[in-house]
């Protein structure tokens, strides 16, 4: 297959062109403990969120501080700015990584394994927040999740992956309404269907 970003085939780009594309992206890596969602273990919460702003912008330090605090407050983490990553719960770690990605005002935000380490209430609140950020910035979000409630809440376009292959994709409402037995089972999580323990 091909990976196209804004009409450009990534495989055809040289390193400098790839770096230009990368600078338009924010990424939240998978992170259940003991992993860190890509946070730097040597930096506290504040410095982790401020790091890409210092690397990618020429903003003065007072603006970097203001934007960093604003995004940590958005994630409910204002009181935890001095903590180190190893002092955070899995859910807090995910929220710090989200704050870091959102602070960049990226055109494309990739969030891997969105629901890991987050309880149902915070997951619902983060879905609302992502929708709000998407509407405000018109950014594209690519989110992977096992939580079908979050997928339904967030997706305009959906793809269902089974054994490393996309088995359904398209308009989210159409994908979630599929009557194909494998797709229905993957979406519903029901025990009855073509997938059984001996085949998965």
The pLDDT assigned to 31 comes to 66
pLDDT per residue over 59-81, tens digit each? 999 999 999 999 999 999 999 99
What's the distance, CA 172 to chain centroid? 18
The pLDDT assigned to 33 comes to 52
The pLDDT assigned to 101 comes to 92
Among 110, 101, 112, residue whose Cα is nearest residue 35: 112
* Range scoring the smallest mean pLDDT among 37-41, 117-121, 166-170: 117-121
pLDDT per residue over 121-178, tens digit each? 988 988 998 898 888 888 999 999 999 999 999 999 999 999 999 999 999 999 999 9
The pLDDT assigned to 68 comes to 97
Name the pTM for this structure.
0.84
Phi, psi (degrees; rounded to nearest 5) at 110: -105, 125
Give bridge partners of residue 110 from the DSSP assignment: 27, 142
The pLDDT assigned to 200 comes to 53
């Amino acid at each position: 297959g091909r990976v196209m970003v804004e009409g450009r085939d990534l495989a055809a780009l040289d390193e400098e062109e790839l770096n230009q594309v990368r600078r338009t992206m924010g990424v939240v890596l998978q992170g259940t403990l003991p992993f860190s969602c890509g946070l730097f273990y040597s930096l506290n919460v504040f410095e982790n969120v401020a790091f890409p702003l210092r690397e990618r912008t020429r903003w003065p330090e007072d603006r970097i501080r203001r934007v960093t605090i604003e995004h940590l407050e958005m994630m409910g983490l204002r009181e935890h700015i001095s903590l180190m990553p190893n002092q955070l719960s899995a859910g807090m770690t995910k929220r710090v990584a989200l704050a870091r990605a959102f602070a960049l005002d990226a055109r494309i935000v990739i969030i891997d394994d969105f629901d890991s380490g987050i309880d149902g209430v915070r997951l619902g609140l983060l879905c609302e927040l992502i929708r709000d950020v998407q509407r405000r910035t018109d950014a594209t979000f690519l989110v992977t999740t096992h939580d079908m409630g979050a997928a339904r809440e967030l997706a305009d376009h959906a793809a269902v992956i089974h054994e490393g292959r996309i088995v359904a994709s398209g308009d989210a409402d159409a994908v979630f309404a599929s009557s194909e037995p494998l797709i229905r089972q993957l979406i519903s999580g029901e025990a009855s269907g073509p997938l059984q323990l001996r085949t998965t």
